[in-house]
Amino acid sequence: MDHIAQTFSVRYTYNVFFTNQLFSPENALFRDFLKRTETAVAKKIFFVIDEGVDTHHPDLQEQIKDYFVSLPGYTLVPDIMVVPGGEQAKNTEQQFYDIVRAVDRYGIDRHSYIAAIGGGAVLDLTGYAAAVSHRGIRHIRIPTTVLSQNDSGVGVKNGINFQGKKNFLGTFVPPVAVFNDSFFLTTLSKEEWRSGMSEAVKVALIKDRQFFEWLKDNAVLLAERDMESMQYLVKRCAELHLQHIAGGDPFEMGSSRPLDFGHWSAHKVEQLSGFTIRHGEAVAMGIALDSAYSFLSGRLEEADARTIVAVLKALGFSVTHPLTEILNDESPVLKGLQEFREHLGGQLTIMLLEAIGKGVEVHELDIALLKKASLWLKAC
Protein backbone atom coordinates (compact mmCIF):
# COMPACT_ATOMS: atom_id res chain seq x y z
CA MET A 1 0.00 0.00 0.00
CA ASP A 2 1.31 3.45 -0.91
CA HIS A 3 2.14 5.75 1.94
CA ILE A 4 4.19 8.79 2.85
CA ALA A 5 6.45 8.49 5.90
CA GLN A 6 6.94 11.66 7.91
CA THR A 7 9.71 12.10 10.47
CA PHE A 8 10.85 15.24 12.19
CA SER A 9 12.30 16.32 15.50
CA VAL A 10 11.89 19.46 17.58
CA ARG A 11 14.69 20.75 19.75
CA TYR A 12 13.80 22.36 23.08
CA THR A 13 16.16 24.60 25.01
CA TYR A 14 15.38 26.41 28.24
CA ASN A 15 17.33 27.67 31.22
CA VAL A 16 16.67 27.26 34.92
CA PHE A 17 17.98 30.37 36.65
CA PHE A 18 18.79 30.70 40.36
CA THR A 19 18.50 34.13 41.92
CA ASN A 20 17.22 36.17 44.87
CA GLN A 21 14.49 38.84 44.76
CA LEU A 22 13.83 38.53 41.05
CA PHE A 23 11.77 41.71 40.72
CA SER A 24 14.10 43.99 42.65
CA PRO A 25 15.00 46.99 40.44
CA GLU A 26 18.67 46.08 40.84
CA ASN A 27 18.14 42.52 39.57
CA ALA A 28 18.51 42.55 35.78
CA LEU A 29 18.12 38.78 35.25
CA PHE A 30 14.46 38.75 34.17
CA ARG A 31 14.88 41.95 32.19
CA ASP A 32 17.91 40.57 30.32
CA PHE A 33 16.09 37.34 29.48
CA LEU A 34 13.19 39.22 27.88
CA LYS A 35 15.52 41.54 25.98
CA ARG A 36 16.97 38.54 24.13
CA THR A 37 13.69 38.17 22.26
CA GLU A 38 12.97 41.82 21.57
CA THR A 39 11.22 42.58 18.27
CA ALA A 40 9.80 45.65 16.57
CA VAL A 41 6.32 44.65 17.73
CA ALA A 42 5.63 44.99 21.45
CA LYS A 43 4.87 41.72 23.21
CA LYS A 44 2.49 41.24 26.06
CA ILE A 45 3.18 39.48 29.34
CA PHE A 46 0.41 38.25 31.60
CA PHE A 47 1.05 37.19 35.21
CA VAL A 48 -0.83 34.56 37.19
CA ILE A 49 0.00 34.52 40.90
CA ASP A 50 -0.66 31.95 43.59
CA GLU A 51 -3.00 33.41 46.21
CA GLY A 52 -0.71 32.28 49.03
CA VAL A 53 2.26 34.03 47.44
CA ASP A 54 0.19 37.18 46.95
CA THR A 55 -0.79 37.13 50.63
CA HIS A 56 2.73 36.60 51.96
CA HIS A 57 4.29 39.08 49.52
CA PRO A 58 1.77 41.95 49.47
CA ASP A 59 4.15 44.26 47.57
CA LEU A 60 4.80 41.77 44.78
CA GLN A 61 2.21 43.06 42.30
CA GLU A 62 3.48 46.61 42.60
CA GLN A 63 7.08 45.40 42.26
CA ILE A 64 6.17 43.64 39.01
CA LYS A 65 4.42 46.73 37.65
CA ASP A 66 7.36 48.97 38.58
CA TYR A 67 9.78 46.49 37.00
CA PHE A 68 8.02 46.75 33.63
CA VAL A 69 7.76 50.53 33.55
CA SER A 70 11.27 50.82 32.11
CA LEU A 71 11.25 47.68 29.95
CA PRO A 72 10.79 48.62 26.29
CA GLY A 73 9.27 46.14 23.89
CA TYR A 74 6.91 44.62 26.44
CA THR A 75 3.42 45.52 27.57
CA LEU A 76 2.44 44.24 30.98
CA VAL A 77 -1.20 43.19 31.26
CA PRO A 78 -2.12 45.38 34.25
CA ASP A 79 -4.75 43.00 35.60
CA ILE A 80 -2.61 40.42 37.37
CA MET A 81 -4.66 37.30 38.02
CA VAL A 82 -4.60 35.75 41.49
CA VAL A 83 -5.72 32.11 41.75
CA PRO A 84 -6.08 29.74 44.71
CA GLY A 85 -2.91 27.84 45.50
CA GLY A 86 -2.46 24.22 46.44
CA GLU A 87 -4.15 21.24 44.87
CA GLN A 88 -7.52 23.03 44.83
CA ALA A 89 -6.15 25.07 41.90
CA LYS A 90 -6.17 21.85 39.84
CA ASN A 91 -9.25 20.14 41.18
CA THR A 92 -11.81 21.89 38.98
CA GLU A 93 -11.76 23.21 35.44
CA GLN A 94 -12.92 26.67 36.56
CA GLN A 95 -9.45 28.13 37.14
CA PHE A 96 -8.26 26.72 33.82
CA TYR A 97 -11.08 28.41 31.91
CA ASP A 98 -10.51 31.67 33.80
CA ILE A 99 -6.97 31.82 32.44
CA VAL A 100 -8.04 30.86 28.92
CA ARG A 101 -10.71 33.57 28.94
CA ALA A 102 -8.08 36.09 30.10
CA VAL A 103 -5.90 35.11 27.14
CA ASP A 104 -8.81 35.88 24.86
CA ARG A 105 -9.81 39.08 26.69
CA TYR A 106 -6.34 40.61 26.70
CA GLY A 107 -5.35 39.47 23.21
CA ILE A 108 -2.33 37.44 24.32
CA ASP A 109 -0.81 35.89 21.21
CA ARG A 110 1.65 33.06 20.64
CA HIS A 111 4.66 35.38 20.77
CA SER A 112 3.63 36.83 24.10
CA TYR A 113 4.16 35.32 27.54
CA ILE A 114 2.16 33.90 30.42
CA ALA A 115 4.24 33.95 33.60
CA ALA A 116 3.13 31.90 36.61
CA ILE A 117 4.36 32.64 40.12
CA GLY A 118 3.47 30.00 42.68
CA GLY A 119 3.65 26.45 43.85
CA GLY A 120 3.58 23.39 41.64
CA ALA A 121 -0.20 23.21 41.34
CA VAL A 122 -0.49 26.79 40.05
CA LEU A 123 2.40 26.18 37.64
CA ASP A 124 0.74 22.99 36.37
CA LEU A 125 -2.58 24.79 35.90
CA THR A 126 -1.12 27.83 34.17
CA GLY A 127 1.20 25.77 32.01
CA TYR A 128 -1.74 23.69 30.80
CA ALA A 129 -3.74 26.81 29.91
CA ALA A 130 -0.72 28.30 28.13
CA ALA A 131 -0.08 25.07 26.21
CA VAL A 132 -3.59 24.78 24.76
CA SER A 133 -4.41 28.45 24.18
CA HIS A 134 -3.60 29.30 20.55
CA ARG A 135 -1.93 25.84 20.51
CA GLY A 136 0.86 27.20 22.64
CA ILE A 137 1.77 30.48 24.32
CA ARG A 138 5.25 31.00 25.73
CA HIS A 139 5.23 30.07 29.39
CA ILE A 140 7.58 31.32 32.12
CA ARG A 141 7.64 29.54 35.45
CA ILE A 142 8.59 31.22 38.71
CA PRO A 143 8.30 28.47 41.33
CA THR A 144 7.89 29.56 44.94
CA THR A 145 8.04 26.32 46.94
CA VAL A 146 10.81 23.81 47.56
CA LEU A 147 8.81 21.16 45.71
CA SER A 148 8.27 23.28 42.61
CA GLN A 149 11.81 24.69 42.55
CA ASN A 150 13.54 21.34 42.77
CA ASP A 151 11.16 19.09 40.86
CA SER A 152 7.83 19.86 39.19
CA GLY A 153 8.56 23.46 38.22
CA VAL A 154 11.71 22.66 36.26
CA GLY A 155 10.17 19.87 34.19
CA VAL A 156 7.96 19.64 31.11
CA LYS A 157 4.61 18.54 32.54
CA ASN A 158 1.42 20.58 32.86
CA GLY A 159 -2.05 19.54 33.88
CA ILE A 160 -5.09 19.50 36.11
CA ASN A 161 -6.96 16.78 37.98
CA PHE A 162 -10.16 15.34 36.54
CA GLN A 163 -12.76 12.89 37.85
CA GLY A 164 -10.77 12.62 41.07
CA LYS A 165 -7.69 11.42 39.18
CA LYS A 166 -4.35 13.17 39.48
CA ASN A 167 -3.16 14.98 36.33
CA PHE A 168 -5.74 13.25 34.12
CA LEU A 169 -5.78 16.24 31.75
CA GLY A 170 -2.46 17.71 30.71
CA THR A 171 0.34 18.23 28.24
CA PHE A 172 4.08 17.80 27.87
CA VAL A 173 5.26 21.30 26.95
CA PRO A 174 8.51 22.80 28.27
CA PRO A 175 8.56 26.34 29.62
CA VAL A 176 10.71 28.93 27.88
CA ALA A 177 12.49 29.63 31.17
CA VAL A 178 12.35 28.90 34.89
CA PHE A 179 13.40 31.41 37.55
CA ASN A 180 14.05 29.95 41.00
CA ASP A 181 13.96 32.85 43.47
CA SER A 182 15.16 31.70 46.91
CA PHE A 183 13.51 34.70 48.58
CA PHE A 184 10.10 33.07 48.12
CA LEU A 185 11.25 30.16 50.30
CA THR A 186 11.66 32.43 53.32
CA THR A 187 7.90 32.77 53.81
CA LEU A 188 6.99 29.08 53.46
CA SER A 189 5.23 27.34 56.30
CA LYS A 190 7.06 24.58 58.12
CA GLU A 191 4.93 22.04 56.25
CA GLU A 192 5.65 23.50 52.81
CA TRP A 193 9.38 23.80 53.55
CA ARG A 194 9.51 20.14 54.52
CA SER A 195 7.20 18.82 51.82
CA GLY A 196 9.50 19.49 48.88
CA MET A 197 12.45 17.65 50.36
CA SER A 198 10.91 14.24 49.68
CA GLU A 199 11.51 14.68 45.95
CA ALA A 200 15.20 15.27 46.67
CA VAL A 201 15.31 12.03 48.65
CA LYS A 202 13.55 10.29 45.76
CA VAL A 203 15.93 11.39 43.03
CA ALA A 204 18.97 10.74 45.22
CA LEU A 205 17.80 7.20 45.96
CA ILE A 206 17.39 6.26 42.31
CA LYS A 207 20.27 8.23 40.80
CA ASP A 208 22.92 9.59 43.19
CA ARG A 209 24.12 7.84 46.36
CA GLN A 210 26.53 10.68 47.13
CA PHE A 211 23.63 13.15 47.16
CA PHE A 212 21.70 10.83 49.49
CA GLU A 213 24.68 10.74 51.86
CA TRP A 214 24.72 14.55 51.79
CA LEU A 215 21.01 14.59 52.63
CA LYS A 216 21.62 12.23 55.54
CA ASP A 217 24.49 14.37 56.86
CA ASN A 218 22.52 17.61 56.51
CA ALA A 219 19.04 16.43 57.54
CA VAL A 220 19.07 18.36 60.81
CA LEU A 221 20.17 21.60 59.14
CA LEU A 222 17.50 21.17 56.47
CA ALA A 223 14.80 20.49 59.04
CA GLU A 224 15.88 23.63 60.91
CA ARG A 225 15.46 25.75 57.75
CA ASP A 226 19.10 26.43 56.96
CA MET A 227 18.86 28.41 53.72
CA GLU A 228 22.34 27.62 52.40
CA SER A 229 21.67 23.89 52.72
CA MET A 230 18.27 24.27 51.08
CA GLN A 231 19.71 26.19 48.14
CA TYR A 232 22.15 23.34 47.50
CA LEU A 233 19.35 20.77 47.78
CA VAL A 234 17.16 22.67 45.31
CA LYS A 235 19.92 23.12 42.75
CA ARG A 236 21.25 19.56 42.89
CA CYS A 237 17.77 18.05 42.76
CA ALA A 238 16.81 20.28 39.82
CA GLU A 239 20.04 19.32 38.05
CA LEU A 240 19.32 15.59 38.41
CA HIS A 241 15.74 16.12 37.26
CA LEU A 242 16.86 17.97 34.13
CA GLN A 243 19.48 15.33 33.36
CA HIS A 244 16.76 12.70 33.42
CA ILE A 245 14.48 14.71 31.11
CA ALA A 246 17.31 15.04 28.59
CA GLY A 247 18.20 11.37 28.88
CA GLY A 248 15.81 9.61 26.54
CA ASP A 249 12.05 9.82 27.10
CA PRO A 250 11.15 13.38 28.17
CA PHE A 251 7.51 13.09 27.08
CA GLU A 252 7.04 9.61 28.60
CA MET A 253 6.06 7.82 25.42
CA GLY A 254 6.92 4.50 27.06
CA SER A 255 5.83 3.04 30.38
CA SER A 256 9.07 3.74 32.22
CA ARG A 257 8.86 6.59 34.73
CA PRO A 258 11.79 6.28 37.16
CA LEU A 259 11.16 9.74 38.60
CA ASP A 260 7.85 8.41 39.90
CA PHE A 261 9.54 6.22 42.50
CA GLY A 262 7.18 6.16 45.48
CA HIS A 263 4.39 7.82 43.53
CA TRP A 264 1.95 5.00 42.74
CA SER A 265 0.67 5.07 46.31
CA ALA A 266 1.37 8.78 46.87
CA HIS A 267 -1.03 9.93 44.17
CA LYS A 268 -3.79 7.71 45.56
CA VAL A 269 -3.19 8.77 49.17
CA GLU A 270 -3.43 12.43 48.17
CA GLN A 271 -6.79 11.77 46.54
CA LEU A 272 -8.07 9.60 49.42
CA SER A 273 -7.21 12.34 51.91
CA GLY A 274 -9.09 14.95 49.90
CA PHE A 275 -5.65 16.46 49.25
CA THR A 276 -5.21 17.36 52.92
CA ILE A 277 -2.00 15.31 52.73
CA ARG A 278 0.49 17.32 50.69
CA HIS A 279 2.13 15.80 47.64
CA GLY A 280 5.57 15.77 49.24
CA GLU A 281 4.22 14.21 52.43
CA ALA A 282 2.51 11.47 50.41
CA VAL A 283 5.67 10.90 48.37
CA ALA A 284 7.70 10.43 51.57
CA MET A 285 5.26 7.71 52.65
CA GLY A 286 5.41 6.18 49.18
CA ILE A 287 9.20 6.15 49.23
CA ALA A 288 9.15 4.45 52.62
CA LEU A 289 6.64 1.82 51.43
CA ASP A 290 8.53 1.00 48.24
CA SER A 291 11.85 0.94 50.09
CA ALA A 292 10.38 -1.52 52.59
CA TYR A 293 9.05 -3.62 49.70
CA SER A 294 12.46 -3.47 48.01
CA PHE A 295 14.02 -4.91 51.18
CA LEU A 296 11.40 -7.59 51.77
CA SER A 297 11.54 -8.70 48.12
CA GLY A 298 15.28 -9.34 48.46
CA ARG A 299 16.53 -6.41 46.41
CA LEU A 300 17.70 -3.93 49.05
CA GLU A 301 19.74 -4.50 52.20
CA GLU A 302 17.74 -4.13 55.40
CA ALA A 303 20.27 -1.64 56.78
CA ASP A 304 19.75 0.58 53.73
CA ALA A 305 15.97 0.41 54.07
CA ARG A 306 16.23 1.43 57.72
CA THR A 307 18.60 4.27 56.82
CA ILE A 308 16.11 5.60 54.27
CA VAL A 309 13.32 5.57 56.86
CA ALA A 310 15.60 7.28 59.39
CA VAL A 311 16.51 10.07 56.96
CA LEU A 312 12.85 10.69 56.09
CA LYS A 313 12.02 10.92 59.80
CA ALA A 314 14.99 13.22 60.46
CA LEU A 315 13.64 15.57 57.79
CA GLY A 316 10.34 15.65 59.66
CA PHE A 317 8.23 13.23 57.62
CA SER A 318 5.77 10.59 58.74
CA VAL A 319 6.53 7.34 56.95
CA THR A 320 3.10 5.77 57.40
CA HIS A 321 -0.53 6.80 57.78
CA PRO A 322 -3.85 4.94 58.08
CA LEU A 323 -4.49 5.65 54.39
CA THR A 324 -1.19 4.00 53.36
CA GLU A 325 -1.76 0.86 55.42
CA ILE A 326 -2.35 -2.31 53.42
CA LEU A 327 -4.35 -4.68 55.59
CA ASN A 328 -6.03 -6.78 52.91
CA ASP A 329 -6.63 -7.01 49.17
CA GLU A 330 -9.36 -4.35 49.41
CA SER A 331 -7.24 -1.65 51.05
CA PRO A 332 -8.11 1.60 49.18
CA VAL A 333 -4.51 2.59 48.44
CA LEU A 334 -4.11 -0.51 46.24
CA LYS A 335 -6.43 1.10 43.69
CA GLY A 336 -3.46 3.36 43.00
CA LEU A 337 -1.71 0.50 41.20
CA GLN A 338 -4.45 0.18 38.58
CA GLU A 339 -4.72 3.95 38.18
CA PHE A 340 -0.95 4.13 37.77
CA ARG A 341 -1.11 1.49 35.06
CA GLU A 342 -3.87 3.42 33.27
CA HIS A 343 -1.97 6.69 33.54
CA LEU A 344 1.09 5.09 31.96
CA GLY A 345 -1.07 3.71 29.18
CA GLY A 346 0.61 0.34 29.02
CA GLN A 347 2.51 -2.17 31.10
CA LEU A 348 2.65 -1.48 34.82
CA THR A 349 6.16 -0.27 35.57
CA ILE A 350 7.21 0.44 39.15
CA MET A 351 10.62 1.70 40.25
CA LEU A 352 12.15 -0.11 43.22
CA LEU A 353 15.65 -0.02 44.74
CA GLU A 354 18.43 -2.57 44.53
CA ALA A 355 20.83 -0.20 46.30
CA ILE A 356 20.86 3.38 47.48
CA GLY A 357 21.48 5.36 44.31
CA LYS A 358 20.40 2.55 41.99
CA GLY A 359 16.84 1.89 40.91
CA VAL A 360 15.41 -1.16 39.18
CA GLU A 361 12.11 -1.44 37.30
CA VAL A 362 9.59 -4.21 37.95
CA HIS A 363 6.27 -4.93 36.28
CA GLU A 364 4.27 -6.36 39.13
CA LEU A 365 4.00 -6.08 42.89
CA ASP A 366 3.06 -8.92 45.22
CA ILE A 367 0.10 -7.81 47.34
CA ALA A 368 0.98 -10.18 50.20
CA LEU A 369 4.47 -8.69 50.31
CA LEU A 370 3.03 -5.17 50.21
CA LYS A 371 1.01 -6.05 53.33
CA LYS A 372 4.24 -7.15 55.05
CA ALA A 373 5.98 -3.95 53.94
CA SER A 374 3.15 -1.90 55.44
CA LEU A 375 3.43 -3.78 58.76
CA TRP A 376 7.24 -3.47 58.73
CA LEU A 377 6.96 0.30 58.41
CA LYS A 378 4.54 0.54 61.32
CA ALA A 379 7.08 -1.27 63.47
CA CYS A 380 9.97 1.01 62.49
The string of pLDDT tens digits covering residues 62-121 is: 999 999 987 888 889 999 999 999 888 888 889 999 999 999 999 999 989 999 999 999
Quote the DSSP letter at residue 159: E
In this prediction the pTM is: 0.89
pLDDT given for residue 102 in this prediction: 95
pLDDT given for residue 253 in this prediction: 52
Got the DSSP string for 30-56?
A: HHHHHHTT--SSPEEEEEEEEHHHHHH
Class of domain 190-379: mainly alpha
Q: What is the mean pLDDT of residues 137-145?
A: 96
Lowest mean per-residue pLDDT among 48-52, 231-235, 250-254: 250-254
pLDDT given for residue 380 in this prediction: 87
pLDDT given for residue 248 in this prediction: 64
- Contact at 8 Å (CB) between 120 and 145? yes
* 3 state DSSP class of 144: coil
Are both 15-187 and 190-379 of the same fold?
no
pLDDT given for residue 255 in this prediction: 42
Q: What is the mean pLDDT of residues 172-186?
A: 95
Between the alpha carbon of residue 354 and those of residues 245, 310, 347, 360, the distances in Å are 22, 18, 21, 6
pLDDT given for residue 163 in this prediction: 86
Class of domain 15-187: alpha beta
User: Please, where are the H alpha helices in 12-152?
Assistant: 29-35, 51-56, 60-69, 94-106, 120-132, 146-150
Q: What sign does the dihedral 239-243-246-252 (CA atoms) show?
A: negative
pLDDT given for residue 258 in this prediction: 63
Domain positions in the chain are: 15-187, 190-379
pLDDT given for residue 247 in this prediction: 66
